[in-house]
Amino acid sequence: MHRTNRLWLPAYCSPDGLLPKVQETRSLFESRPYAFPDFVGRAYAFLKSNDVRKMGFEFHADQALPCKWKCPDESLFAADLAIYAQTGHYPFNKGKLGGGFNEKALGAAVHHGTINIDFGGSHVGYMPGKKGGSFGQVWRPQVSAPSPNCGYLSVLTSEFQKVFNDATNNILIYQPPGEKVFVNVPNEYVQPNWSSLAIKLLIDTDTLTYGEVEYEPMALQTHFPIGRSLFVLSDAFLDGLTAEERVRLMTPEPTPIGCSLSPKYFNIFDVDAEVDSHGLPQQRLLPYMKYILAARHAPPLLKAAIINTNIEHNRLTDMTRTEAFRPYAFASFSGVFIDLFDEASGRYGVLFQPLAIAIKPAGRQREIELLPGEIHERFDKLTPAVPAVPMEDVLRSASFESWTDAYTFEVK
């Protein structure tokens, strides 16, 4: 009889539950991100275009309030300066720590300007370097050392990351002579009470295993090590391995499962997480945690920033659709801010990878959404609008090529 360990999962981790999809890093980063000052200029050129007017959106600069919803980290201050230079107005703050959208700020913002132009999203630090550089930290000149960026997302994911890394190093796969392929799993990854940690990772016995290894007194390979359980590895898992993974894992010597522990084969949760009346966590990023940790095409903190931007963009547009905000117009430019320290200028630079544009004309409830590929196709053809204050006067530069040249990351 095949036994399951899914009964110990919180409701929001149920593999049978439908989790809304978020955008794939591979498709998002097919195009290079923009230097944020350049993106803002193209955004205002777009708002003044006939294409937007045909959407029913009437742009009037004297009624438009530039807004931001992003983390207050000092590495992002160049984004504020770029918005000020482009518009001549300081952006109204709708953001919270970690790139959250502050719902309570929306009512105040529309009374400051009947047209809200929103630039927002989560951010992630980028350290230029060989082989594409690295994400998750940024150089801090005040302390002459790198540090986590975004710190909020780093703290949120760090304990999950430790548990996941331990699992990838200690779940072992091997094939005893004459036997099927076995998977040797520490018991804390089979049943949650075997771990004293608040973060629980459970292998999914329904997908990773075919069943438990039957104990045979005379067959040493079937004897259970202390604190571990033995399972027969599922054919579905084996069929999904690449040729390189099969060579690495299907040996007589126990080998760590490593990056082959993909989201299909485990679940991870925090027993102390606050949940609502539906059993859903207040921290909306938690159901996506296993996809962040085991992402093959994105560093974890980049993936976290992408997912969090999706969640917070939805919170913004969900509010603008309510009856209270029907009379107002919104143009929302949401994406991931990528922060780096620009050695050429000795200051921070900010890149921006757009994930969505939502255009909601006044008097309507639903917005018109543009996909990332469509955004790049349209924006690449636009000449940035002339800023209200010369960029070089505000940012001490009119060229941001050193920012984009330093960015060499490519999605695998």
Which of 293, 321, 343 represents a domain boundary (last residue)? 293
- Whether 169 is covered by a domain: the verdict is yes
Residue 365 has pLDDT above 70, yes or no: yes
Residue 25 lies in a domain: no
> Which has the closest alpha carbon to 241: 166, 293, 175?
175
The answer to whether residues 309 and 331 belong to one domain is yes
Peptide bond into 150 cis (omega under 30): yes
**Is the model's pLDDT at 412 over the cut of 80?**
no
- Structural domain span for residue 223: 156-293
Question: Which amino acid would we find at residue 102?
Answer: N
Q: Which of 293, 324, 342 is the endpoint of a domain?
A: 293
Give the tens place of pLDDT for each residue, 127-165.
998 888 999 999 899 898 989 999 999 999 999 999 999
Q: Are residues 69 and 120 in the same domain?
A: yes
Number of folded domains that form the chain:
2
| CA separation for the pair 95, 260 (Å, rounded) | 37
3-state secondary structure of 93: strand
Helix 300-320, helix 151-170: angle, nearest 10: 130
In a shared domain, residues 277 and 386: no
Task: Examine the fold and report which residue of 238, 263, 293 is the final residue of a domain before the chain moves on.
Answer: 293
Average pLDDT (59-71) is 95
pLDDT of residue 218: 64
Same domain, residue pair 282 and 336: no
pLDDT at 215: 75
Residue 178 has pLDDT above 90, yes or no: no
* Amino acid identity for residue 264 in this structure: K
Cα 213 to Cα 396: distance, rounded to the nearest angstrom:
67
Task: For residues 307 and 236, state if they share a domain.
Answer: no
- Claim to verify: residue 80 and residue 56 sit in the same structural domain: yes
| Helix ranges restricted to H, 123-208 | 151-170, 205-208
Q: Indicate the pTM of the whole model.
A: 0.94
* Residue 198 resides in a domain: yes
Residue 160 CB partners (closer than 8 Å, separation 6+): 199, 268, 270, 289, 292, 293
Question: Are 303 and 289 part of one and the same domain?
Answer: no
Question: Considering the domain boundaries, does residue 128 fall inside one?
Answer: yes
Residues near 239 by Cβ (< 8 Å), separated by ≥ 6?
none
Instruction: Summarize pLDDT for 246-304 with one digit per residue, the tens.
Output: 999 999 999 999 999 999 999 999 999 999 998 899 999 999 999 999 988 789 999 99
Instruction: Give residue 225's pLDDT.
Output: 83
Q: Are 128 and 195 within one domain?
A: no
Contact 28, 306 (CB under 8 A): yes
**In this predicted structure, what is the pLDDT of residue 184?**
95
Q: Is residue 144 part of a domain?
A: no
**CA–CA separation, 153 and 309 (whole Å):** 12
* Residue 86 resides in a domain: yes
Per the domain annotation, does 12 fall within a domain?
no
What is residue 220's predicted lDDT score, i.e. its pLDDT?
Answer: 65
Residue 229: inside a domain: yes
- Residues 104, 216, single domain; the answer is no
